[in-house]
Structure 1
Amino acid sequence: MVPRPRRIAAATLIGGSATLSGFYGFLIGEAILARRAIGTTDDRPPSPDGIYGDDLPGRTIRVLVLGDSAAVGYGVTRADATPSAMIGVGLAHVMDAPVEVQCRAVVGAQTSDLMGQIDLDPDWHPDVAVIVIGTNDVTHRVTPHASARMLGQVVRRLVADDCDVVVGTCPDLGTVQPIHQPLRAVARRLSRALARKQTIATVEAGGRAVSLGDLLGTLFAEKRDVMFGADHFHPSETGYANMVSVLIPAVSASLRQKQTSLAYAGQTRDLVAVADAAAVSVEHPGTQVAPDAGPGGRFASVLRRRRAS
């Protein structure tokens, strides 16, 4: 006969397992409902590929855009409203040089798809790659560790080919309306955990990471009707512009660092451990984290986005 304490422990374990299984079953059901509410489509905006600022005097800068629907510009109907086009126009203005853009991002892409996006045209050599990825890793239950490891491999490959890399980390999915509690709390925890891991992996591989967080905080929370598109999940044209506004400074800083060997055109910054920098960036959307010890370095510099007064 099984001693009473063991029977109690076994019953508790079985009951706890059943409760946990029921909870995860509930979360899966909520996820299915959220996906149905959000919907999906294979439609893409018109191609933004081309040269922006072709009348400018500088050497043409080649920009490769990789990632998922946020990089594609899901939901917009004009090429000039896509993130790629806005990056092209904005960077041409900042750098006073023509910018040639290729967008290979795909709606629904995960980090595991990035290598394939690079391989679509291996003979086209970009000066800088902009990557926005992570949301689909969370929704498809890819662990943050595995996702970040794959991202690090992508960044290392690009850096080895003399291409600067700027990564917009996973947005905070806890701000998305079609996702209800408690799934929203779980999505927030997982997306923030992934953003931290992405930052560390990117910086250690020699790239720059920009925290997209909840796509720049209270602005998206307070102006949902303006910042989110019709599905209330993907950004609107205005929302994409807000995202691009924090990516362009990182791209231009990276290119200028290569040209002038200066870390950033501004005041000097203290170095911090990469993990600490990642933790800061997750709490402050729009924060840029740049490597300061080369690929494999354990230190980084943090540049907080200036807030409008």
Structure 2
Amino acid sequence: MSKAGAARRLAAAAAYGGGGLGAVGASLYGVLRAEAALARRKIGKTVGQPPDPTGLYGADLPGRVITLAVLGDSSAAGYGATGPEETFGAFLAAGLSDLAGRPVLLESVAKVGAKTADLEGQIPRALVVAPDICAIMIGTNDVTHRVPPSASVRALRNAVETLLATGSEVVVGTCPDLGTVRPIAQPLRQVARQWSRRLAAAQTIATVEAGGRAVSLGSILGPEFDASPVDLFGPDRFHPSPAGYRSCAQAMLPTVAAAAGVGPDAVDVPEATRGEGVRSLALAAVEAAENAGTEVSRVDTEGTGLGPRGRWALLRHRRRHDAPVVGPIDDVAADRSRAGSDVAADTAAQLSAAAENWP
């Protein structure tokens, strides 16, 4: 079966309750279990909580506040960062504020250890700020915890549809390529690469079918990270370093800005000379999974988004913008601890007031 066919099968399984990626032989399964146990010992357990980047970015800028929510797992939360300014959310919010020339109010609800099914519990917290746009990074823990891909993809589609129904735009950073995580040895590393790429392709299909936009983070944690593991991976060699979080934010920023209708990417057109254009959704999803920073979104052709091979999609290789150095973060809940607690009611009131009262 082709890669596109496998991705289509996963997405269909999610929609209709089918299975996952298939079984592996008993002998190989035993080897994989042993390698997985060794990798877990090398990586170790997550300790503590990441710093919370929630707050107002570009507070001195004019214009209406753009509200941004970040949902997802430990990478979305910024695990391993020593300060809020080193997290994925901070880099993304600061970059969006810089491109828009407007303040950005960030609400980060991502949680260490989260799987795709956990997005359901994060959504009510994200909606506190009535986000204009939601950025999601999810999928790694689904692979490492052997969540059936069909269940993972179904949960993602439900989350995207729920957020879109509130009027928010949604951008999903798909599952990274786990085949470059150094503590994972062969043959598990190759299996992890295959599973994570297939999940990423299926996530893309589910996101676009729901009406959102997907951005591949595959080789963001692939050749680029593999070439500079000391710089882009954190001390546990599994989670990104601050430089790695900046790289992930740079990959998603052009699409987030375009979805928000700000910056140069809001008005540009696809360039065929750069390999951009309309594809079948399944082919676009597979191509994106193998090329970092590739955006896939829904497109209508001749009044319909459907072709002989299913839905059409627009594939883009947007130019990256430099992620600026994160400046001061307004102290609206920026330093609060998220150690096992939900957003406090008074914090919710502060955030809502900040969005409503800004000119």
TM-score by length of 2: 0.75
Deviating above 6 A after TM superposition, structure 1's stretches of 4 or more consecutive aligned residues are 294-297
8 A Cα contact 1:206 1:296, kept in partner:
no
Q: Structure 2 counterpart of 1:152, which letter?
A: R
Matched, 1:170 2:172: no
Paired with 1:265 and 1:59, the residues of 2 have a C-alpha distance of 23
Q: Structure 2 counterpart of 1:193, which letter?
A: R
Tell me the equivalent position of 1:190. Answer: 195
Q: Structure 2 counterpart of 1:303, which letter?
A: R
8 A Cα contact 2:250 2:320, kept in partner:
no
Q: Point out which structure has higher relative CO (alpha carbons under 8 A, 6+ apart).
A: 2
Paired with 1:105 and 1:199, the residues of 2 have a C-alpha distance of 20
Matched, 1:236 2:249: no
Paired with 1:264 and 1:134, the residues of 2 have a C-alpha distance of 31
Q: Structure 2 counterpart of 1:77, which letter?
A: T
8 A Cα contact 1:42 1:107, kept in partner:
no
Paired with 2:151 and 2:54, the residues of 1 have a C-alpha distance of 31
Following superposition, the deviation at residue 20 of structure 1 comes to: 2.9
Matched, 1:265 2:268: yes
Structure 1 residues 104 and 119: CA distance shift in structure 2, 3 A: same
Aligned length: 288
Tell me the equivalent position of 2:143. Answer: 138
Residue range with higher mean Cα deviation, 35-44 or 152-161: 35-44
Paired with 1:149 and 1:271, the residues of 2 have a C-alpha distance of 25
Residues 245-260 of structure 1: pairs in structure 2 closer than 5 A: 245-256=250-261
Q: Structure 1 counterpart of 2:291, which letter?
A: H
Residue range with higher mean Cα deviation, 262-271 or 33-42: 262-271
Selected match of 2:123 from 118, 128, 132: 118
1:115-172 per-position Cα deviation (integer Å, ceiling 9, x unaligned): 1011236443111100000000001111222211110110011111110001000000
Tell me the equivalent position of 2:85. Answer: 80
1:8-54 per-position Cα deviation (integer Å, ceiling 9, x unaligned): xxxxxxxxxxx932321221121111112111224122211100001
Following superposition, the deviation at residue 217 of structure 1 comes to: 4.1
Tell me the equivalent position of 1:283. Answer: 290
Paired with 2:213 and 2:97, the residues of 1 have a C-alpha distance of 20
CA RMSD of aligned residues (A): 2.4
Q: Which runs of 5+ in 2 are unaligned?
A: 1-23, 322-359
Structure 1 residues 277 and 218: CA distance shift in structure 2, 3 A: same
Selected match of 1:47 from 48, 52, 57: 52
8 A Cα contact 1:273 1:300, kept in partner:
yes
Residue range with higher mean Cα deviation, 84-93 or 286-295: 286-295
3-state DSSP of counterpart to 1:119: helix
Structure 1 residues 185 and 264: CA distance shift in structure 2, 3 A: farther
TM-score by length of 1: 0.87
Paired with 2:305 and 2:67, the residues of 1 have a C-alpha distance of 25
1:217-265 per-position Cα deviation (integer Å, ceiling 9, x unaligned): 43211111111111111111111101100111010011118x99x9742
Q: Identity of counterpart residues, as a percentage?
A: 49
3-state DSSP of counterpart to 1:165: strand
Paired with 2:278 and 2:33, the residues of 1 have a C-alpha distance of 42
Q: Structure 1 counterpart of 2:283, which letter?
A: D
Structure 1 residues 194 and 77: CA distance shift in structure 2, 3 A: same
Paired with 2:214 and 2:178, the residues of 1 have a C-alpha distance of 18
Paired with 2:110 and 2:72, the residues of 1 have a C-alpha distance of 4
Selected match of 2:314 from 277, 301, 305: 301
Residues 59-70 of structure 1: pairs in structure 2 closer than 5 A: 59-70=64-75
8 A Cα contact 1:69 1:109, kept in partner:
yes
1:262-297 per-position Cα deviation (integer Å, ceiling 9, x unaligned): 974234653221111101101211111121249986
